[in-house]
């Protein structure tokens, strides 16, 4: 490169021709503020960042929940991407009222709901095969005035049934005081009677069965408690009422009959929780659902096929034996609107979610979650660790962590989802890692502009110390030099051909990448010289002679002189060219 072009590039990239006169006042003020920030000691900046991020974590986790949306989205993506999931319980069979069943039953029984003697016929047929449980994902909340005989048939079938479990719909607890329903009306719904110290039995608001023998059977609330975004991620197995009594869900009603030991496990686990009342939305007190691999997992039998077999007595190869099975009767037909979004599907059938809840309850799949306070502590400790590392090493040494650290934290959560017992949610730490490292990188850029930018304000007694190293100057080495200048030579600056904040190593012109110069007051330069050399002791550096800048020059003239002195020093330090 010709000397003139070299000097022009040095003046443009390293010493940046002054443009203060061309900048508006606001831009000049902004530049002064950023320069002031860049000149702060790194311990001030790092301590301030750790305190600011810690305050934000505490506010977010315990009050604002701004990062909750990111947590939910991250969790949903992890659930869909799992490499494996727990196998489903093959005892569970769904008797499916789908669109084809509606179409096949319509010519004789009309539109849904059909006369209830059709359901009674199916119930009697299933009961004759001795199932483990018959679970009704259907609420018998209103009398069928067009077919009272059907209601009577269903009520009598429920009276004969030894394995049925029926649904009720829990209404918001704010309405409990307006209800007259209590344990004496629906005894099969209660898991535990009221506390002896309670003044009176609690009443609760719900939609009960209208048929008397259905109401006398084992019951469970069958609500889907969703998060704020309308997604079903948790299941509420029990709910505590105002008098201390406890009601259970439909999956727990089934578990009580099929596996009493598992029921006792869940009830004891619930009793150990703080006495919090139920809410109309899911909370962290509810159990995180351990989903199967896909949204349609469990064996299905078409209701019309089962009805034909029950009504005509002819064997149907499409209908398996129900002996020992947990038979769930429910609808997947979209026209019946029993769907809700889950991490697996935007329109997952409610009966499939019910089957998953029963499966998890029977197999004690209780996913433990990292407490909120523990997640906050991990996030704060991570920020403090990053700050300590950057203080004792350098900010640039953390560049690989921009991708590795968040990936590792999210990977821990993803790996934990492959267990049946824990989900370690570190999304907050992963997000803060990216943000904290980005803020540090931004501050490093400001500091680099400050220490590798223009000359100090005064131009008297300036000197130039040229260096040529055996390797290209890395950001880590420059970071150490800047910390030395900040500690012992605050009026000195670094000068190089390619010291631009957004530099690209692949775009550097290699012959001049090892060139560097220290420019500043002569006395400061002499004092800082040994410290600077110790900061880069791993490099082999050829050091030129200190050259003095003539006093009394204008700022523009001083820049050009420094440029030529640095150029002359680097040229003198280059190895001779063999002929």
Q: What is the mean pLDDT, run by run of 10 residues, along the chain of 579 residues?
A: 41 39 59 72 89 94 82 92 95 98 96 96 97 98 94 98 98 93 95 86 94 97 94 95 94 98 96 80 92 96 96 87 98 95 96 98 93 92 92 80 89 92 90 91 84 73 91 83 88 74 48 86 91 85 92 86 91 75
Can you give the pLDDT at residue 509? 54
Cα pseudo-dihedral 413, 418, 422, 428, rounded to 10: 10
Q: What is the CA radius of gyration of the chain?
A: 37
Question: Does residue 119 lie in a domain region?
Answer: yes
Backbone dihedral angles phi then psi of residue 326, each to the nearest 5 degrees:
-100, 100
| Structure confidence at residue 24 (pLDDT) | 67
On whether both 437 and 560 belong to a single domain, the answer is no
Based on the domain organization, do 182 and 142 belong to the same domain?
yes
Domain containing 373 equals: 49-76+369-444
Please indicate, yes or no, if residue 37 is contained in any of the structural domains: no
Tally of structural domains, the chain: 3
357 shares a domain with 375:
no
User: Are residues 347 and 385 part of one domain?
Assistant: no
Q: Is position 26 within any domain?
A: no
Q: C-alpha distances in angstroms, 510 versus 449, 472, 514, 575?
A: 22, 8, 8, 15
Residues 393 and 483 in one domain: no
Q: Which of 93, 141, 112, 83 is nearest to 354 (CA)?
A: 93
Q: Examine the domain organization and report whether 7 and 69 are in the same domain.
A: no
Query: What local confidence, expressed as pLDDT, does residue 16 receive?
Result: 38
- Classify residue 481: in a domain, yes or no: yes
Q: Are residues 337 and 466 in the same domain?
A: no
Residue 23 lies in a domain: no
Helix (H) or strand (E) segment spanning residue 4:
helix 3-13
DSSP 1: -
The torsion of the CA quartet 110, 142, 339, 307, rounded to 10 degrees, works out to -40
Return the CATH number at 475: 3.30.70.2750
Contacts of 233 (CB under 8 A, 6+ apart): 72, 75, 76, 226, 227, 282, 288, 289, 342, 343
Q: Based on the domain organization, do 56 and 109 belong to the same domain?
A: no
For the chain, the straight-line distance linking the first and the last C-alpha, in angstroms and rounded, comes to 19
Q: Which residues of 404-442 are buried (b: 16+ CB within 10 A; e: fewer)?
A: ebbeebbeebbebbeeeebbbbbbbbbbbbeebbeebee
Are residues 188 and 324 both part of a single domain? Answer: yes
Q: Are 185 and 114 in a shared domain? A: yes
Which is nearest to 296 in space by CA: 128, 132, 98?
98
Token pair belonging to 444? 């490093």
What was the pLDDT predicted at 564?
92
Q: Is residue 29 situated within a structural domain? A: no
Res 20: pLDDT = 42
Q: Do the beta carbons of residue 497 and residue 14 sit within 8 Å?
A: yes
Among 336, 362, 388, the domain boundary falls at: 362
The answer to the question of residue 24 being in a domain is: no
Assess whether 504 and 419 both reside in one domain: no
267: left (phi over 0), alpha (psi -120 to 50) or beta: alpha
CA distance 114 to 128: 22
Same domain, 157 and 8: no
Domain-located, residue 25 = no
């Amino acid at each position: 490169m010709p000397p003139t072009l070299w000097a022009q590039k040095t003046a443009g990239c390293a010493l940046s021709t002054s443009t203060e006169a061309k900048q508006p006042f606001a831009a000049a003020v902004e530049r002064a503020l950023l320069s002031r920030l860049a000149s702060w000691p790194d311990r001030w900046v790092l301590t301030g960042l750790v305190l600011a991020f810690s305050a934000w974590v505490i506010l977010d986790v315990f009050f604002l929940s701004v990062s909750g949306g990111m947590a939910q989205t991250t969790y949903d993506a992890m659930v869909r991407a799992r490499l494996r999931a727990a196998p489903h319980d093959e005892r569970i069979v769904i008797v499916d009222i789908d669109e084809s069943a509606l179409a096949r039953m319509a010519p004789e029984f009309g539109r849904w709901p059909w006369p209830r003697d059709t359901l009674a016929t199916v119930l009697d047929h299933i009961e004759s095969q001795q199932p483990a449980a018959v679970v009704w994902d259907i609420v018998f909340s209103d009398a069928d005035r067009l077919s009272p005989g059907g209601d009577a048939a269903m009520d009598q079938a429920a009276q004969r049934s030894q394995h049925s479990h029926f649904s009720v719909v829990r209404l918001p607890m704010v309405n409990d005081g307006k209800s007259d329903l209590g344990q004496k009306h629906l005894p099969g719904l209660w898991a535990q009677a009221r506390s002896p110290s309670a003044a009176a039995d609690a009443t609760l608001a719900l939609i009960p069965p209208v048929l008397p023998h259905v109401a006398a059977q084992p019951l469970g609330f069958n609500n889907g408690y969703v998060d704020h975004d309308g997604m079903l991620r948790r299941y509420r197995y029990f709910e505590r009422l105002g008098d201390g009594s406890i009601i259970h869900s439909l999956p727990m009603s089934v578990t009580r009959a099929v596996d009493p030991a598992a029921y006792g496990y869940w009830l004891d686990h619930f009793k150990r929780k703080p006495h919090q009342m139920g809410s109309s939305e899911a909370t962290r007190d509810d159990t995180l659902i351990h989903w199967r691999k896909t949204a349609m997992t469990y064996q299905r039998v078409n209701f019309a096929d089962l009805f034909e077999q029950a009504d005509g007595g002819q064997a149907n190869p499409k209908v398996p034996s129900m002996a020992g099975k947990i038979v769930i009767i429910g609808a997947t037909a979209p026209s019946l609107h029993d769907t809700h979004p889950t991490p697996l599907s935007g329109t997952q059938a409610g009966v499939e979610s019910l089957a998953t809840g029963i499966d998890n309850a029977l197999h004690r799949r209780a996913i433990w979650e990292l407490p909120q306070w523990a997640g906050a502590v991990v996030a704060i400790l991570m920020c403090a660790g990053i700050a300590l590392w950057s203080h004792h090493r350098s900010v640039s040494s953390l560049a690989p962590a921009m991708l590795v650290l968040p990936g590792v934290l999210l990977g821990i959560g993803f790996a934990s989802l492959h267990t049946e017992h824990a989900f370690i949610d570190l999304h907050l730490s992963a997000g803060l890692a990216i943000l904290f490292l980005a803020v540090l990188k931004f501050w490093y850029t400001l500091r680099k502009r400050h220490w590798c930018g223009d000359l100090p304000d005064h131009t008297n007694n300036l000197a130039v110390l040229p260096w040529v190293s055996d390797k290209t100057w890395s950001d880590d080495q420059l970071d150490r030099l800047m910390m030395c200048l900040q500690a012992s030579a605050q009026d000195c600056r670094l000068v190089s051909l390619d010291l631009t904040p957004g530099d690209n190593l692949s775009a550097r012109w290699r012959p001049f990448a090892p060139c560097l110069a220290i420019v500043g007051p002569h006395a400061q330069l002499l004092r800082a010289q040994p410290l600077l050399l110790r900061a880069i002791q791993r490099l082999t550096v050829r050091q030129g002679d200190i050259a003095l800048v003539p006093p009394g020059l204008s700022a523009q003239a001083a820049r050009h002189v420094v440029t030529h002195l640095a150029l002359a020093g680097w040229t003198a330090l280059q190895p001779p060219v063999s002929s």
